Structure 1
């Protein structure tokens, strides 16, 4: 009995430490499958773990500091980190991604810079990708992903279309063994989606992957 109690307390302590780490270092965490709920009993145990934390503690470890999502793979090492900086200074080891309309007009926001740097609009159009898909260009050893989240550039994306595009990108990344990705706050800004919800979608789609995503927030000096 004492062994089981000690084990339960240790599990709570380990989860608490992961919460604190993710808050301190700006990393959004997907909880491992060992505490995720592969069945109802495990889900109940996880809920008990979370309920054991003081309310004020949970309050300060949510919102911008944490997205607690379940990983679908106990061995997955997914990490979502936000930093200040220019996306286009990301290392060549990181592929890039951003959101566009299916017309690939790219006339506003960060899409303008992608168009200036990578061009090949005719190649992107020739791929015939519709809303909910992803178009891809290759830049040396990395890929440039165009998440097509709306039919036209003046339309608005939805969380469903974003999720579908992210899933399509995930499949390409799996096939080509892409494990590092740099992005802006996709779908936010002029597209109008909320970053809290978008980051949740990222954890949902990629939580089972061995992948590092770095979110670049450009802050003019």
Structure 2
């Protein structure tokens, strides 16, 4: 899951990036409203975490512009503005949730999981595909009811594939989900992660679609 964090407080942003990264999310950060609009216009994100008191362009204006452009990315507002009217305005403009500062990081992560579940059409924090089960809250994976040990990005790769069974993901799409801006990516990184996941589960779990990329599912190639 790729998240855009829009926060001008560098200390808070750094802490949130660390917490979200530990929860196996890929996080991109911008510090003002104009940069946020540009990032959402030119990049695909699964969630935006949006402060309201931003330099250059207020978060409410960012939200309004994004929705006018037809971008349906889920938006979780983080703000010190605690008046009921502020919450109503943000929610009516298209925000999906509103969390008031100061907040507990565990609550933020729980709200992120709620939006992740909603995006995937889930009612619980679990993704399933056949004998495979992913616990989104505990970041645990089981295969045929037995726990398996996945590395950080192996979990991220598998979660991305299971969220949309039968969808073919190109290597560049998977790299964007697993790596942030400016992170070096080896040319065979995705292939290596796929190999490791197959070895720990089943060689046929992840399908190679020749010339395109990878998918998880039972469609004929």
Instruction: Mark yes or no: TM-score above 0.5.
Output: no
If you compute each CA radius of gyration, which structure gives the higher value, 1 or 2? 1
Scaled by the length of structure 2, the TM-score of the pair is 0.29
Normalised by the length of structure 1, the TM-score is 0.29
Structure having greater relative contact order (Cα 8 Å, sep ≥ 6): 1
